[in-house]
Copies of this chain bind each other. A is one copy, B any other.
Amino acid sequence: MRIKDIGGEFALIERIRKKTKLYSKDVVAGIGDDAAVLSYDKNNYLLFTTDALIENAHFSLKYSTPEQIGMKAIEQNVSDIAAMGGLPKFAVISLSLPKNINVKFVDGLYDGINKKAKKYKISIVGGNITHSKEIVVNVALLGFVEKNYLALRSRAKIGDLIFCSGNVGKSTAGLELLRHNKKGNSIKYHLEPQSRLDLARKLVKIGINSMTDVSDGVASEIRHICEESKVGVIIYADKIPISKNTIDDSKKIGKNALDFALYGGEDFELVFTAPKNKVKQLKKYDASVIGETVNKKYGMKLVKNNKEYNLGSGFDHFGRKRV
């Protein structure tokens, strides 16, 4: 039985979650959010997350410089800490490199890592190096969040509005341009994605109900919130923030930007829910209302051209084409 036969990565993670046990009362939230939440002190939680960049799955040396790979390895983990409402602090880096790799690659990679470490004041405190056929850059990141600012996927309430920050679909549009040997502004969003740490901190201070980051496409992230919060959802396709630039770049390769937004990945924007009475405050920030949470029995729906569709399962690493 292959992973796709049991329902892909989502089903596999659920299967793993059922098998694992917790041995500590200090686990506030374990598998199933962007980062684990652990007891720390009276006012703060410790956040713990890990994410890998794999050559030919998440990046290609044909397209990315070593520095860009290093930057992305940090950004994607910072994005997970941001999605919890926290601030990153300590990282360890696990590198696997082909035996004959040039030292210049490692220098460039660490230039990228260090650039982002400086930006976010993350101390790189350890790691290890081994070898492999393809390059693997695995980052484990610790962060902290004040208890009252913690944002979970599981706290959406029925009747919440659903927001999406910035604009989405841009990273996948950029990747597709590269694959098709075309030019366009979207490429920079694939090669140098930016997490929304500053925005996330502002949002948790206003008071939102739930949040996650857009690492795997908006549809997939909304599914996470729905499953963890046990709610349903209606999303309006025409409300999903997609830039004119992303639409134009998608057209160059005969693709629909909405598909990239819903089922692409690595935009590192934020999807979050908040009660309606917060709309006025939230409107000041770079985020769009894209739908509303409803009763779970209603399911997860996408309204497009006045028709209602089931919201697909979104990006799945096991369904994804290699770059």
List the B side residues contacting A24 at CB < 8 Å.
89-90, 121, 123
Q: Contact mask A109-150 → B, CB, 8 Å, 1/0? A: 011011001100111111111111110101010100000000
Residue contact B54 to A12, C-beta cutoff 8 Å: no
Q: Encode contact with B along A1-24: 1 for CB under 8 Å, 0 otherwise.
A: 111011001001101100111111
Copies of this chain present: 2
With A and B bound together, what is the CA distance between A90 and B23 in angstroms?
A: 9
Q: How far is the CB of A104 from chain B (nearest CB, A)?
A: 7
**Which of A43-51, A190-198, A224-232, A249-257 lies at the binding interface?**
A43-51
Contact B13 A131 (CB under 8 A): no
> A92 near B36 (CB under 8 angstroms)?
yes
Of the listed stretches A94-102, A276-284, A295-303, name the one at the interface; the rest are far from the partner chain.
Answer: A94-102
Q: Does A285 reach chain B (CB closer than 8 Å)?
A: no
The complex places the Cα of A269 from the Cα of B9 at a distance, in Å, of 37
CB–CB B96/A19 < 8 A: no
Across the interface, A138 reaches (CB within 8 A) one of B117, B138, B320, namely B138
Query: Which B residues lie within 8 Å of A124 (CB)?
Result: 20, 30-31
A82 to B96: give the CA distance in the assembly, Å.
Answer: 24
> Among the listed B35, B54, B117, B127, which residue makes an inter-chain contact with A131, where contact means beta carbons less than 8 Å apart?
B54
Which residue of B21, B30, B121, B123 is within 8 Å of A30 (Cβ)?
A: B123
Would you list 14 pairs from A and B whose C-beta atoms are within 8 A, ordered by A residue?
A1-B102, A19-B111, A22-B123, A23-B123, A24-B90, A31-B126, A31-B127, A38-B90, A51-B94, A52-B94, A52-B138, A54-B130, A54-B132, A94-B138
